[in-house]
């Protein structure tokens, strides 16, 4: 098979069952659910999701939903050096959501609307596919309007 796909500059993760054990994460994401893994033995919750619990080394992990609301812990507004495929400016946020902290992007927001402590909600964006992963999705956040 010939392809023009250039893996070395692809900024997005593989998501197909053939390429990653984390494919259930992306399957949930494409259905609008932000999930991660939790250990059945010690109940430790990880981010990013893992196949083995980093707290007790058990392979008995299960998928659990994260809450519908999180809080911005830190943020930065990037206007230069942004990877291809990201908007300018890009608002990067560190979000406390349930027991985990997620570094992601805030979309559909003006830089003036961002400050630490604001409430955000998980959202999903589609990103360019590859010959191996025609449809790919990433978790992002949007402002939570009360």
Contact set with Zn ion (CB under 5 A)? 39, 41-42, 44, 53, 55-56, 58
Maximum CA pair distance of the chain?
51
Q: What angle do CA 112, 116, 119 make, to 5 degrees?
A: 90
- Of the two residues 58 and 116, which places its CB atom closer to Zn ion in the complex? 58
> Going edge to edge, which strands form the sheet with 35-39?
45-46, 35-39, 61-65
- Of the two residues 57 and 125, which places its CB atom closer to Zn ion in the complex? 57
Residue 53 beta carbon to Zn ion: minimum distance, rounded to whole angstroms: 3
Residue 29 beta carbon to Zn ion: minimum distance, rounded to whole angstroms: 23
C-alpha distances in Å from residue 14, one per residue of 17, 43, 63: 9, 27, 19
Residue 45 beta carbon to Zn ion: minimum distance, rounded to whole angstroms: 10
- Of the two residues 19 and 42, which places its CB atom closer to Zn ion in the complex? 42
């Amino acid at each position: 098979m010939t392809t023009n796909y250039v893996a070395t500059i692809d900024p997005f993760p593989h998501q197909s069952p053939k390429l990653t054990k984390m494919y259930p994460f992306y399957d949930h994401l494409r259905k609008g659910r932000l999930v991660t893994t939790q250990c059945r033995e010690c109940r430790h919750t990880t981010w990013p999701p893992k196949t083995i619990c980093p707290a007790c080394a058990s392979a008995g992990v299960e998928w659990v939903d994260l809450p519908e609301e999180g809080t911005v812990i830190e943020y930065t507004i990037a206007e230069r050096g942004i990877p291809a495929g990201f908007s300018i400016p890009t608002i990067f946020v560190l979000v406390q959501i349930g027991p985990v902290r997620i570094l992601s992007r805030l979309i559909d927001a003006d830089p003036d609307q961002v400050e630490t402590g604001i409430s955000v909600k998980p959202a999903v964006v589609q990103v360019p596919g590859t010959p191996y992963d025609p449809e790919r999705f990433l978790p992002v956040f949007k402002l939570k309007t009360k």
